[in-house]
Amino acid sequence: MADSEKRFQRQYKYYGILEISRNATQEELRKAFRRLVRKYHPDRNLASREAEAKFKKIKEVSYGFEGGEGQDRGCALHATT
């Protein structure tokens, strides 16, 4: 499997984790990221290992969008507009 194909599959998976469509806008991407981070943050779910794992996946998504072809969208995840 080519490197670009692996990156595409990983990027596609990220949209599923954020529960948004593949052609979401930067604003939708940012809102989904922030909503899920708040929902699964360890401070809000002290005893839940499942929430902690989900939170880590969501954080992985933010770094995944910042690298490679999603770089311009990754910046939108952390924007505070």
Reported as a single tens digit per residue, the pLDDT across 15-54 is: 888 888 888 888 998 899 999 999 999 999 998 999 999 9
For the chain, give the mean pLDDT: 76
Cβ neighbours of residue 53 closer than 8 Å, sequence gap 6 or more: none
Q: Which helix (H) or strand (E) holds 77?
A: helix 71-77
Give the number of other Cβ atoms within 10 Å of residue 78's Cβ.
12
Strand, coil or helix: what is 18?
A: coil
Please give the model's pTM, rounded to 2 decimal places. 0.65
